[in-house]
């Protein structure tokens, strides 16, 4: 698959839902969420686009929506 980075919020949510189907995104603290994302296959951080609270919130919400 093609690599993705922090701004690919929907793709990250889909990958997290597939890789961690039994995790509750609401129960995951942002430092752990960041680690889970960084551990996804094909994830490659892009220079100039670091993870921040806003991006992690968007990922968390997209993951919640993906589960529903």
Contacts of 13 by beta carbon, 8 Å cutoff, 6+ apart: 59, 62, 63, 65, 66
DSSP, collapsed to helix, strand or coil, labels residue 10 as helix
Number of domains, the chain = 1
Is residue 3 in a domain? no
Q: Tell me the per-residue pLDDT of 42-68, one tens digit each, with 9 for 90 and over.
A: 999 999 989 999 999 999 999 999 988
pLDDT tops 80 at residue 1: no
pLDDT at 61: 98
Is residue 1 in a domain? no
Q: Which CATH number belongs to the domain containing residue 24 in this structure?
A: 1.10.10.600
pLDDT at 36: 98
Q: Please return the burial class of 63, using the count of CB atoms within 10 Å of its CB with bins 0-12, 13-18 and 19+.
A: buried
pTM of the model: 0.93
Q: Tell me the per-residue pLDDT of 22-43, one tens digit each, with 9 for 90 and over.
A: 999 999 999 999 999 999 999 9
């Amino acid at each position: 698959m093609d690599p993705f980075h922090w701004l690919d919020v929907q793709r990250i949510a889909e990958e997290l839902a597939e890789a961690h189907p039994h995790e509750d995104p609401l129960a995951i603290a942002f430092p752990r969420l960041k680690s889970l994302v960084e551990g996804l296959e094909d994830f490659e951080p892009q220079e100039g686009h670091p993870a921040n609270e806003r991006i992690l919130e968007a990922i968390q919400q997209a993951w919640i929506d993906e589960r529903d």
